[in-house]
Structures are given as structure tokens and as C-alpha cells.
Amino acid sequence: MIKLALKIFLIASLVLSTQIPSFAAISDWQRGFTIRLIDQSFSEVDATLNDLKALGVNYVTITPGWITDSRTSSNVDRKDRTPTDQLLIYTIDKAHSLGMHVMLKPHLDIKSGLWRANLNPANLNKFFQNYSKMILHYANICQQHDVELFSIGAELVLLTQNTSNLPKWNSLIDNVRAIYKGKLTYSANADVGGYNETRLPFANKLDYFGISMYRPVSNTNEPTVESMIKAWAGIDKTYVSQVIQDYGKPVIFTEIGYRSVDGASVRPWDYSSTPTVDQQEQADLYKAFFEYWKGKQYFYGVHFWDWSVEPNAGGPTDKSFNIQNKLAEETARYYFNSADSTVDTTANTSLFKNLAFATDSLEKSKLVYSDRTYVFTDVPAEIYGAEYVLGLNSDKSVTIQNYLTFDASQDLTLMVAYDARATSLPDWLKNWNLTNLLIKTNDTNFKVYTKEYPAGQIILGGNKAAPASGAGSNYIVIASTTYIAPPIVTAPIPTNDQTLPITDAQYQITVSNPQDGAEISGEKKIKARIENLSPDEYDIILSSNFTGNILMENGTDGLYKQVKMDFDSWGAYGRGPHQVTLTAKDKQGKLLDSKIVTFEVKL
């Protein structure tokens, strides 16, 4: 997993050290589609579930919808379209009879149509009483009918990101677990800025980290499958890999889908616009999804949105999210049923031929070298399970230009993990691409460099080939056919003409630590505040190229927002200057102030 420069110490170290089993093959996934029950007949349910079974689905996701009057209301009531318990139970039992599993994922909507992420009840105690009553009702049904997975909420962004609500969420989860003995998740919205939920305060109490994934994979209405696959690599790094790093939980996409319209790749969340029909773009989006995720050992599955409980739904003129009677239906059928043979894993066929050393699967706790007892302590998720050369650390001082010779059995991405303590690289490595990946061992850390090679002979130089210096351990060679290497993003150097958004002049961010331009090291807290406001009256989001957006917490002093960071880990990306941006907003989302803090890391 990517070890990002900024590490937030919100999660116990026991959770961070959790090792996630590998599930590369699609046949091992949760292969789900969501159905929306309203008032359908049992025969319609039967036909739908049989169709899903034939599609290759092994998980049926059911989303009973409930309603609240407004974004500040506390009521939680059934809709006219909320399915009866009788229909819900029939569907659960029928799915089980066909050998499929079930996830129950209740949705709470706002009557006006405003997105549920904006729900911010004025009376939180009353709201959580009502919401808990609804959730516990479904927890009882789940327990009585052996539902395998239960989601305690979906996209309730303001309610989850307000950390003062954490005791209420923890209490709800504890009460659910007292009733229901199956697995729990929550469908967290993946987004930028204030609508991102992938910093989920109660994630450590769940079994799966669920993500509602509607991130764009293109900026054009005519994307290629290849370009969208590459876009997934960036999304993976920002959201999925980061979640695994932060929480050590298996990741599933509890919701993802695409309409059959032109531009669905650019605005996948947009359900109301009226562009032209584009079945091919929808099919290509599904293909790009499967092609990227099929080989990722840390990905546990997907629950697509959605499948209509109507056999004649979809068709050539339909613009909705469902894939029925469209090109994308056959794409999903192919990957759900027959694509495992195309998954490239290193367990069956070595990517290294005519090699003088043994190879192994790159995993936590594996030996780094064949002649030392050093082990891997942190492996980036993007390359977890890739094939690596079990070399000799005693060769760390070799200076020749043809130290390691072998044949690549097919076109591949070759990676060299080089000692992060190095002050100069060997010439043979200088035209390789440095990535943001960082491998950790109980000896030292290694920066990862990549280069694309065709099948055929490859020659690598020695660890200390001129003008290398500073590397105290031998490099590690890794090969992959599925990894798409994002180049390292260097923190921008501030300039005098750099501008920030227009803010409210009466409010200003004051930073207690670090001071702008400071040299800093070790574990420190960044502390900031808005003068004359209580920390409960506003949020501060910290963002950087390495961390994405992080919601700062209230400090124990009652004055500051704060977040703890390991500044030493920034040294893997150089001294700097580095920068973080602090953005303050009131609880209604109004921008108060934004401030850039620049610093250097003491190496």
C-alpha cells in the first residue's frame, strides 16, 4: 500500500498492521447488483433473481428507502415506495434458495430531493433515536433470515464527518452487533473536499470498508478503455489504497454505476441530465472497471447500481443506470462468468526466466533477501503479491554494470526498490520513473522506480555502480504486468502570484504549528484555529499533494483544530519545500479562510 507522507494517528496501530488476504480472481469477489424493491409481485422478484443468477451475480443488494422531511429534520419514516417487510423477506429467502448472498443497505432520503449527504438535523439526539430504530428493525430481519452483509448507512456525509457524532455511531454499531451476528459495513462516499467520507471515524468497528464510488474516469466524452484504466490507477491510490493503509479493512464498492449516455465517464454521479444515448460508453466503462480491478489482490468486490425488477427494462433507447438489454449486460456477464482465466497472477508463471536467484510473492513478513533475516513490514497495495527477486544483501557494494541478467517472459513493468537513504543513484537507474510508492522493511525503507520492458533480455547494474552513494542495502527487483505506475507528484513551490479562493475577510486562520518556512522533523501536530470562533462552529480541511483532504479534529485545549503527522516520512520525497493548504468552512459549508503553510523537512 502507498505509504503517504502524512500519517494520521487516528487509528490504533493494531488495525494498521492488519494483513488483508489476497483475492485477485473475480470468482472470489462479491459480485453484486442492487435491486430496488417497491411493490413488485413475488413472480417479478423470482424472474429478476433468476436473471441475476444467470448473469453470474453472487450478491443481491437491497436498498429499502426511507424519508425525512428536510435536511434539518429528525424524523425517519417509511416512504410510499418503501417495500413491505413481507416483500423484503421473500426476496432475501429466494436469493438464498438460489445460492446467492444478500447485502441489505437502507437509504435515507430528504423529501425535497436534496442529496442525503447534506442531512444535518437540528436535533441530533432525536434523529439518532429515530434512525437507530429503523436500522435495528432491519438488523433483526437480517439476523432472522441469515443476511450475510448489513450496511448501517450510506452517504450521510455531514453526519459521519462531524466527529462529535462518533459516540452516537459507535453506540448504534454496538446495538446492531448485539442483535445481528453477520458482517457490517457502511457505504462511504468517495469525493473531493467536504463530501469525502473515506476518513470514516468509526471504520475500525466495521468488517468491510464500503465505498460509494462515482469518481470520473475521463475528462472527455470519447474516452478509450485504456485511458479509463489508467484513470482508475489514480482513483485507487487516492481512495482504495489509502483506506487499506489507514484502516486495514477489506474494501468493497458498495455502490458504483454508469448511465448509458454520452459523458457518463465524466459525470458518473449525474442521474438527471439529458445527454444522448451511448450504450458503448457504458459498456466501455464496465470493461475498464473489470480490467483494472480484476488483478488487484486487495479488492473484495463490487455491488453495481442497478438492476431493475422488470424483465423488459433497459433497451437501446434507455438512458438509466441499469444495464439490462444493453451492451454492458454482456460485458458484465463475460467478466462475472469467464474472465478469471485472463487474470495475470505471478503464482502460476514466473515473469523472470534464466534468473540466477529464486523469486517469491511480495507480501508483508516475507524475507527481503535470501542471506538475511530482514522482512517486509509495509508493502504498497498496488504491488502486493507481485513477483520479486529474492536476492543477496551481501551484493550491496557491487559496482559492475551487468550485475543482474535475466529474460522477461512477457511485456512487463519492472520495478527497482532502492534504499531511500541513498544520496546519489547509479547511472543505470537515473532514467527510470520515481513513484510515490514506499516499501518498508525492518532494515530500511525503499523508494520504488519503474520502467516498461518488452519480453526479452534485461540487464541491471550493481547497487553501487557509479556514481551511487549512501545506499546501505541492496536493491530489490519486482515485476508486474498489471501495475500502472503514477509518477511522483512533487509539492509545488509557492510563488508570489499564487492565489487562494476569495474568503470572508472577518475570519482568518491562525496556525500555531508549524510556522511558515520552518524546518521540521519527527511526529508533530499541525494546529490551527479561527480567531473568535469555537472549534465546534467550523471545520478545517488540510490538503496536500501527498495526502488528499483530511478533516482536522478538535484539540483537547478547546481552542485549536489539530492533526498529528509524521514529518520524517516526508523525507522520502526530499527536503522540500513542501506545503499544505488549510481551508476553513462554517458548518453550512461557507468558505471562511484558506491558508498555505510551507515548510522543509529536516533530513
Q: Which residue has the cell 557509479?
A: 466
pLDDT band for 355, please (50, 70, 90 cuts): confident
Which 3 state secondary structure label does DSSP give 368? Answer: coil
pLDDT at 22: 46
* DSSP character string of 83-135: PPHHHHHHHHHHHHHTT-EEEE--EEEETT---GGG---S-HHHHHHHHHHHH
pLDDT band for 493, please (50, 70, 90 cuts): very low
b/e code 334-360 from CB counts within 10 Å (16+ = b): ebbeebeeebebbeeeebbeebeeebe
* Portion of the chain with pLDDT greater than 90, in percent: 58
Computed over every residue of the chain, the mean pLDDT equals 86
* Among candidate residues 580, 592, 499, the one with its CA nearest the CA of residue 539: 592
pLDDT at 490: 39
| Least confident range of 86-95, 137-146, 222-231, 478-487 | 478-487
| Residue scoring higher pLDDT (265 or 567) | 265
DSSP state at residue 183:
E
Q: Is 593 exposed, middle or buried (0-12, 13-18, 19+ CB in 10 A)?
A: buried
**Cα distances (angstroms) measured from residue 459 to each of 194, 357, 362, 407, 428:** 48, 14, 21, 9, 10
Residue 259 has pLDDT above 90, yes or no: yes
b/e code 7-38 from CB counts within 10 Å (16+ = b): bbebbeeeebeeebebbbebebbbbbbbbbbe
Residue 19 has pLDDT above 70, yes or no: no
pLDDT band for 356, please (50, 70, 90 cuts): confident
pLDDT at 598: 83
What average pLDDT score do residues 361-383 get? 86
pLDDT at 345: 35
Going from N- to C-terminal start, the domains of the chain cover 13-342, 352-480, 509-601
pLDDT at 16: 31
* Among candidate residues 273, 254, 252, 251, the one with its CA nearest the CA of residue 262: 273
State phi, psi for 168 to the nearest 5 degrees: -70, -40
Cell of 86: 413481507
Residue 104 has pLDDT above 70, yes or no: yes
pLDDT band for 296, please (50, 70, 90 cuts): confident
**β strands within 155-235, DSSP E:** 183-190, 209-213
pLDDT at 505: 64
Which 3 state secondary structure label does DSSP give 363? Answer: coil
* DSSP character string of 1-42: ----S---TTS-HHHHTPPPPP--SGGGSEEEEEE--SS--H
Residue 7 has pLDDT above 70, yes or no: no
H/E stretch holding 47: helix 42-55
* Among candidate residues 253, 430, 421, 441, the one with its CA nearest the CA of residue 363: 441
| The domain over range 13-342 is classified in CATH as 3.40.190.10 | no
Fold observed for domain 509-601: Immunoglobulin-like (2.60.40)
pLDDT digits (tens, 9 = 90+) for 501-551: 555 667 889 998 888 878 888 878 889 999 888 888 888 888 765 555 677
362 within 8 A of 386, measured Cβ to Cβ: yes
pLDDT at 103: 99
Residue 3 has pLDDT above 80, yes or no: no
Name the pairing type of β-strands 476-480 and 509-513. unpaired
pLDDT at 591: 84
575 within 8 A of 520, measured Cβ to Cβ: no
pTM flag (> 0.85) = no
Residue 576 has pLDDT above 90, yes or no: no
| Least confident range of 62-66, 184-188, 312-316, 599-603 | 599-603
pLDDT at 120: 96
- The rounded distance, in Å, linking the Cα atoms of 221 and 225 is 12
pLDDT at 343: 38
* Portion of the chain with pLDDT greater than 70, in percent: 88
Residue 146 has pLDDT above 50, yes or no: yes
pLDDT at 10: 31
Sign of the CA dihedral with 24 first, then 25, 29, and 33 last? positive
